[in-house]
Amino acid sequence: MTSILRGPDNPEVQPEMTRGIEEGNPQLSTVHSERSRLLGVAYRLLGSASEAEDVTQETYLRWYRLTPAERDAVKVPAAWRTRVLTRICIDHLRSARARREVYVGEWLPEPLPDADLARSTTLPRESAAHRDPVERVTLDESVSMALLVVLEKMTPAERVSFVLHDVFQYSFNEIAEMVGRTPQACRQLASSARKRVQDARSVTTSPGEHRRVNDAFKDAWVSGNIRGLMALLNPDVTAVTDGGGVVSAAVEPLTGHEQVARFFVDVMTRQPDLRVRAVTVNSEPGLVGIVGDKVLSVVSTVVRDGRIASIWAVRNPEKLSLWETAIAKETSL
């Protein structure tokens, strides 16, 4: 996965080379901030950090392919790049539907560790204080696995309208230009998407309670305590695992607390050297499974009424490269 920052004076500057000089170069700092915003938009639209990197890079490539005269004619370059990035994302979303039809098992969004979440998250473009609270989604919430899973069920136009308006606070006039619809149509698309999101957000759990239940689940899982696991799971809990056909995983979603509990105990039986750690996944309490220095899975959960109602376990190694890097950095410290 490449990570290239393209600046006004050097279209191929590595981000790590810019950090020490950004304070003395406001223009470069602005470009770096814009790139983070574009990454944040792309990740929320695509649910994939690697694709978000590729789309952001392609956006800057298209900008620097313009002639100097063409770039000078663009009144607001940042708006131009956002529009181009959004259109590329829409194309990706349309083609993703065909790719996921042949994907082995369930497809889940790529989970992010804290460091990469910070890199792909920027503040909204203006204060939301005057906005209707119903239309507000916090930046942390907008990358939660639960919300990303809901976004996956939307049409590309719904997803774009909701993310750009409710998360990044673009006007419907601006969004209409990007998606090729009328502002009123974009408003309706965002409203439809918002209803789906509100259903998924119907019950909230404090981070402390979420963490407490996850820790209890981890302890019961590691010890192979089926009854303990079942007591921590909602009777109609669902668990989705994503192996992508690369590693073993349940092809179909698991349902019911007994089936889910037995599945996790079986995982530990087959992999007795598995270490499970509490971590933050996409801004929320989660778990990571490690063997040696290898990350085998990242687990996200939804807790309702003191029990786990949903579990998403990402096992596809192609979606765990950022976690491999994060764990390796921790180990080297």
Residue spans of alpha helices (H) in the chain: 15-18, 26-46, 49-65, 68-72, 77-101, 114-119, 145-152, 156-162, 172-179, 183-200, 207-223, 226-232, 257-270, 321-332
The answer, yes or no, to whether residue 86 has pLDDT greater than 60, is: yes
Q: Which of 86-90, 208-212, 324-328 has the lowest mean pLDDT?
A: 324-328
> Residues with Cβ < 8 Å from 180, sequence gap 6 or more?
none
pLDDT in tens, 236-250: 999 999 999 999 888
Backbone angles phi, psi at 121, to 5 degrees: -120, 125
Q: Which of 51-55, 135-139, 207-211, 271-275 has the lowest mean pLDDT?
A: 135-139
What pLDDT sits at residue 78?
92
Tokens, residue 296: 């085998």
Report CA Rg, the chain.
Answer: 21
Taking the alpha carbons at both ends of the chain, their separation in whole angstroms is 24
Length of the chain: 333
**Rounded distance between C-alpha atoms, residue 294 and residue 289, angstroms:** 9
In this prediction, residues 51-64 reach a mean pLDDT of 96
CB 242 within 8 A of CB 316: yes
Residue 289 DSSP SS3: strand
CB 277 within 8 A of CB 204: no
Of the pLDDT bands very low, low, confident and very high (cuts 50, 70, 90), residue 327 is confident
Domains of the chain: 1-109 (no CATH), 123-202 (1.10.10), 207-332 (3.10.450.50)
DSSP class of residue 13 equals: B
Of the pLDDT bands very low, low, confident and very high (cuts 50, 70, 90), residue 114 is confident
What pLDDT sits at residue 291?
94
Of the pLDDT bands very low, low, confident and very high (cuts 50, 70, 90), residue 142 is confident
SS (H, E, C) 62-129: HHHHCCHHHHHCCCCHHHHHHHHHHHHHHHHHHHHHHHHHCCCCCCCCCCCCHHHHHHCCCCCCCCCC
pTM of the model: 0.85
Q: At which residue do the structure tokens 């590691």 appear?
A: 222
What pLDDT sits at residue 137?
58
DSSP class of residue 241 equals: E
What pLDDT sits at residue 97?
79
What pLDDT sits at residue 133?
46
% residues pLDDT > 90 (the chain): 65
70 vs 103, more confident = 70
What pLDDT sits at residue 323?
95
In this prediction, residues 274-297 reach a mean pLDDT of 94
Of the pLDDT bands very low, low, confident and very high (cuts 50, 70, 90), residue 4 is very low
What pLDDT sits at residue 322?
93
Average pLDDT of the residues of the chain: 85
Measured from the Cβ of residue 323, the count of other Cβ atoms closer than 10 Å reads 24
CB 105 within 8 A of CB 244: yes
What pLDDT sits at residue 140?
66
Own/partner long-range contacts of 169-175 (Cβ < 8 Å, ≥24 apart): 169/124, 169/125, 169/126, 169/128, 169/131, 170/82, 170/125, 174/79
Q: Which of 83-97, 125-139, 148-162, 311-325 has the lowest mean pLDDT?
A: 125-139
Of the pLDDT bands very low, low, confident and very high (cuts 50, 70, 90), residue 123 is very low
What pLDDT sits at residue 128?
41
The answer, yes or no, to whether residue 139 has pLDDT greater than 80, is: no
pLDDT in tens, 5-24: 333 333 444 444 334 434 44
Give whole-number Cα distances, 69 to 73, 74, 92, 297, in Å.
6, 9, 29, 49
Tokens, residue 40: 């944040």
pLDDT in tens, 181-233: 999 999 999 999 999 888 776 566 899 999 999 999 999 999 999 999 999 99
Strand pairing partners for 281?
284
